[in-house]
């Protein structure tokens, strides 16, 4: 049985490079942006209420995701960002565990969480996580935290 550990992180783990390589191979460049923004200081998920979380299976990084203040919203809204789950760890509920941990963290400070995804797989995943679709130009999915 796999031991899954979800934890808040304050530094990028070295294993992020392998996860980034896989993501780029699948056509996703948002982990490349995560790494670049982290190193430049543009986004370290360290403003009040923000966080970066990682999922590990047997001490191996298998997923990552962040929570930041939503720059497109005017009120108490968080944005789920840079969520990626290694292909070998999909369909094992690890992504849902990670998103749930991020939502729990968001509920400590925010009233709402939004995100954007451009794939049908992402859409289905976030619906399974309890988000609803929204017609906002800056977000595809939304969750009111009073509903959790």
Q: Provide the residue ranges of all domains of the chain, joining segments of one domain with +.
A: 4-147
Distance CA 78, CA 128 (A): 19
What confidence score (pLDDT) does residue 35 get? Answer: 97
* Domain 4-147: CATH class, spelled out: alpha beta
Distance CA 25, CA 38 (A): 21
What confidence score (pLDDT) does residue 57 get? Answer: 94
What confidence score (pLDDT) does residue 1 get? Answer: 56
> In which residue ranges of the chain is pLDDT below 50?
none
What confidence score (pLDDT) does residue 70 get? Answer: 96
Distance CA 110, CA 105 (A): 9
With contact defined as beta carbons under 8 Å apart, do 53 and 64 qualify?
yes
What confidence score (pLDDT) does residue 148 get? Answer: 61
Distance CA 144, CA 40 (A): 32
- List the one residue out of 71, 53, 78 whose CA is nearest residue 63: 53
Distance CA 140, CA 138 (A): 7
What confidence score (pLDDT) does residue 146 get? Answer: 82
Distance CA 148, CA 44 (A): 27
What confidence score (pLDDT) does residue 65 get? Answer: 97
With contact defined as beta carbons under 8 Å apart, do 102 and 65 qualify?
yes
How many residues make up the chain in this entry?
148
- List the one residue out of 93, 118, 96 whose CA is nearest residue 27: 118
- CA 9 from centroid of its chain's CA atoms: 13
């Amino acid at each position: 049985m796999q031991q899954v550990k979800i934890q808040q992180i304050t530094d990028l783990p070295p294993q992020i490079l392998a996860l980034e390589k896989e993501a780029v191979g699948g056509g996703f460049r948002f982990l490349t942006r995560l790494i670049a923004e982290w190193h430049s200081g543009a986004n370290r998920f360290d403003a009040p209420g923000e966080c970066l979380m990682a999922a590990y299976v047997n001490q191996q990084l298998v997923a990552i995701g962040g929570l930041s203040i939503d720059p497109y919203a005017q009120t108490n809204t968080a944005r789920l960002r840079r969520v990626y789950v290694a292909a070998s760890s999909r369909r094992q509920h690890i992504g849902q565990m990670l998103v749930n941990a991020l939502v729990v963290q968001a509920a400590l400070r925010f009233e709402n969480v939004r995100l954007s995804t451009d794939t049908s797989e992402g859409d289905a995943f976030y619906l399974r996580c309890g988000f609803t679709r929204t017609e906002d130009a800056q977000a595809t999915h939304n969750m009111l935290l009073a509903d959790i």
